[in-house]
Amino acid sequence: MLAAEVEKVRRDLVDANGWVMRLALTRTEMERRITGLEGDLAKLSKDFGRVQQRNILLESRVASLSAQTARPALSDQTVAPPRSDSTDEEIRRLQDDLAQATNTLVSKELRINQHVKELVMLGNMLASEQDRLLEFEKQNAWLRETGKVILDYRRWWWRFIPSSWQRKRRDRHLLKKGLFDAEAYVNKYPDVITSGQDPLRHYFYHGVAENRQYF
């Protein structure tokens, strides 16, 4: 029975190591993606400022030309001079440029908003993955220490004593090391008694997956 427990610890340790590595890679990829998005956002913000400034200049130029060529109110003595074709053409060109600049401005504003939303989403995902990574690293360390205790506390005469004594001795070692409190685990989860399983074995096979407290 003890050999099976040790083997389970080893398998869980391998699984935990695999999870830690995968989560670390996920976190690295997210951090790289966030850095890239922050760079894109900075560039878009700079472009947005330039387009906005150009928009202001175009609006000012159109207003100036329109004011210069506006027809005055007619009177008996005054006849409005005709507006030249070149002036009309320049105003139309400036108005087209202004419309294009406005569309560009709206497009860049939308892209900035999308980038901000994506940054927030990735930031939340990164925080969640970091929490998971810390939890798996904690579990990994616990499995390593528990497996070490299970292997180290045995003696050559161990197989000659009753299994109930073996469990009590093992549980005392784990409790002393602050790794597992069998009595507290049973009190917290009465179904362990119903299952008839050894508390530590139950935790290995069920408690870890169910994120149960072992102390």
Find the mean pLDDT for residues 73-81: 50
Report how far residue 189's alpha carbon sits from residue 105's, in angstroms, rounded to the nearest whole number: 61
Give the per-residue pLDDT at 188: 93
Structure confidence at residue 181 as a pLDDT band (50, 70, 90): very high
Give the per-residue pLDDT at 23: 67
Number of helices (H) and strands (E) in the chain: give both, helices first: 6, 0
Backbone angles phi, psi at 197, to 5 degrees: -90, 155
Residue 185 above 90 pLDDT? Answer: yes
CA-to-CA separations, 89 to 54, 59, 92, in angstroms, rounded:
19, 16, 5
Tell me the Ramachandran region of residue 149: left when phi exceeds 0, alpha when psi lies from -120 to 50, beta otherwise.
alpha
Retrieve residue 197's tokens. 């399983």
Report how far residue 179's alpha carbon sits from residue 171's, in angstroms, rounded to the nearest whole number: 9
Give the per-residue pLDDT at 211: 81
Residue-wise pLDDT tens digits, 115-171: 778 778 877 877 777 787 787 778 778 888 887 777 776 666 767 778 788 788 888
Residue count of the chain: 215
| In contact, 141 and 177? CB cutoff 8 Å | no
Residue-wise pLDDT tens digits, 195-211: 888 898 888 888 877 88
Find the mean pLDDT for residues 74-88: 57
Reported pTM = 0.50
**Nearest to 144, CA basis, from 23, 9, 1, 40:** 9
